Amino acid sequence: MKILKAQEMAQIDRQAIEGFGIPSLLLMEKAGLSVVEAIRREFPDARKVLVVAGRGNNGGDGLVVARHLHLLGYSVGYVLALGEELKGDALLQYKLLKNLGLEPLKEVDFTKYELVVDAIFGTGFEPPVRGQAVKWIEAINRSGLPVVSVDIPSGLSADSGRLFEPSVRANATVTFQFPKLCHFLHLASKSCGRLYVANIGIPAWLAQGINRELITKANLPERPPDAHKGKMGHVLLIGGSTGKTGAVIMSAKASTRAGAGLVSVGIPEDLNPIIEASLVEEMSIPLKGKGRLSEEAVSQVLELQERFSALGVGMGMDRYEEGRKVIRGLIEGVEKPLLIDADGLNNLADAGVELLKERQGRITVLTPHVGEFERLSGLEKSYIQENLTDCAVEFAVKYGCYVVLKSSRTALATPEGRVFLSVRGTPAMAKGGVGDVLSGILTALLGRGMETEEALKLGLLLHGIAGEVATTKSHRESLKATDLIEALPLAYNLIEHEAFEPSFSYLP
């Protein structure tokens, strides 16, 4: 499903109304009815509803809600939070309510209601909130009542994960036709509550030019009847250092579970006994280095690279001066798909990201978390978190690589300017090693010969759903990274049969 920004949604609205002749009043009516449906699903016992409406189209949607709830026998009150200077469709909705004998409230006692509908500001609003809207938003939040927001919680920006103050804290949000970035990016998405995406009759293909999308499904790689291990990809995972061998071990085991035919681990030669004792299905390759990889290891890898279908580097590698030379050598010399993670990214940041331009025409995947991306990009953490998709895609286009930017959400950006957002997973996955597992999964899928974009989308979905599955079998406090590896088979089954719970509710 496409994810839109405010201007994109406004343009699509105009195309639907002016280009196809769909009456704006019809769209408003369908929007309001969708909110009513969400209220009846989410809060079936709430019969006393207060609608707090602004003066624009969002307020008009709220007035439609008030009218239909009234006609359904609900006890409904409504207030015009920004005054009675309405126009257009919102004014017509106001007149309809008055014709039904429903006058706006002059004073509001929240204790008389069981639910609030927030319809003050919509996607076109640009924070911060000023004027009399401040008192209404603060009053809604103080009321302690459950809140349903129309389109977005009032006070937020549709285009950002930033939590603006003041803004409504909703228990549920009903957005129209397409979700917006604030519905998925933290911290803003935490204020949206349960998300409903309502079809209000705008042709979905009007958004086909939008290069921003939610990952809701993925294609699995083929495994033909005549498959053998040599055809299923042989991946090489390079990393490890004294005290950090576990990272590359977890990556290797995740690669095997993700479907790689063969998995090898490149490790500093003095650490090889540790790796040998920890691996069963996977193989090890001792590389030059004592406690950490030396620059000499690069020539070893390049001599062997034809044996492999994809390489991953950086897991547990450590950050050190010679590590910069290792990363430089691999970036320049590896012809196969190359994934760079963890300290591989830190060494790249120290060596200079302009190195990535050396890999034009070759597949390069970076998998930074926000802190690593801060070092790579020079941007501040808070800005990255609030603008996750924009930051990822700008970097990917500039340096001709794929970026898997990890936070509480994960953005996958392509060199062509497309960006996909994964919202799967649970807070229980905030544990060391979870990123190493993801790197192993992604490297395995890159080595299977799938289209890069499809491999990365599948990997993110697998990783997130495996985390969800593992949490149900454990406890959120007790989950460990290796639990995800063991949950991968069930995650594959759920994806294959599209049997996992969606991340939002769709109202047709």
Contact by Cβ (8 Å): 5, 211:
no
For residues 369 and 468, membership in a common domain is answered with: yes
Domain enclosing residue 415, as ranges: 229-498
Looking at residue 424, what is its pLDDT? 97
The answer on 97 and 18 residing in a single domain is yes
| Whether residues 150 and 69 fall in one domain | yes
Q: Are residues 259 and 110 in the same domain?
A: no
| 233 in the same domain as 170 | no
Amino acid 252: pLDDT: 98
The reply to whether 508 falls in a domain is no
Please indicate, yes or no, if residue 505 is contained in any of the structural domains.
no
Based on the structure, what is the number of domains in the chain? 2
134 within a domain of the structure (yes/no): yes
Residue 43's Cβ-side half-sphere holds a number of Cα atoms within 13 Å equal to 23
Q: Are residues 382 and 334 in the same domain?
A: yes
H or E element at residue 268 = strand 262-268
Whether 219 is covered by a domain: the verdict is: no
What single-letter amino acid sits at 422?
A: S
For residues 135 and 237, membership in a common domain is answered with no
CATH number for 252: 3.40.1190.20
> What is the Rg, in whole angstroms, of the alpha carbon atoms belonging to the chain?
26
Please give the Cα distance from 273 to 286 (Å, whole number): 9
Both tokens assigned to 272: 């090889």
Written as one letter, the residue type at 236 is: L
Coil vs helix vs strand at 265: strand
Residue ending a domain, among 148, 174, 207, is: 207
- The amino acid present at 195, given as its one-letter code, is L
d(CA 285, CA 81): 68
Is 29 inside a domain boundary? yes
Q: Determine if the peptide bond prior to 489 is cis (ω within 30°).
A: no
Residue 319 belongs to some domain of the structure: yes
Instruction: Classify residue 136: in a domain, yes or no.
Output: yes
**Coil, strand, or helix at residue 132?**
coil
Same domain, 188 and 61: yes
CATH label of the domain that carries residue 18: 3.40.50.10260
Please indicate, yes or no, whether residues 139 and 233 belong to a single structural domain of this protein.
no
Per-residue tens of pLDDT for the chain, all 508 residues: 999 999 999 999 999 999 999 999 999 999 999 999 999 999 999 999 999 999 999 999 999 999 999 999 999 999 999 999 999 999 999 999 999 999 999 999 999 999 999 999 999 999 999 999 999 999 999 999 999 999 999 999 999 999 999 999 999 999 999 999 999 999 999 999 999 999 999 999 999 999 999 999 999 998 999 999 999 999 999 999 999 999 999 999 999 999 999 999 999 999 999 999 999 999 999 999 999 999 999 999 999 999 999 999 999 999 999 999 999 999 999 999 999 999 999 999 999 999 999 998 999 999 999 999 999 999 999 999 999 999 999 999 999 999 999 999 999 999 999 999 999 999 999 999 999 999 999 999 999 999 999 999 999 999 999 999 999 999 999 999 999 999 999 999 999 999 999 999 999 9
Whether 191 contacts 174, CB under 8 Å: no
Q: Residue 503 contacts by C-beta under 8 Å, 6 or more apart in sequence?
A: 195, 214, 216, 423, 424
Of 42, 48, 81, the closest CA to residue 66 belongs to: 48
Q: How many CB atoms lie within 10 A of CB 298?
A: 23
Is there a single domain that holds both residue 195 and residue 258? no
Q: Tell me the C-alpha distance between 157 and 167, whole Å.
A: 10
Whether residues 194 and 237 fall in one domain:
no
Say if residue 201 is in the same domain as residue 247.
Answer: no
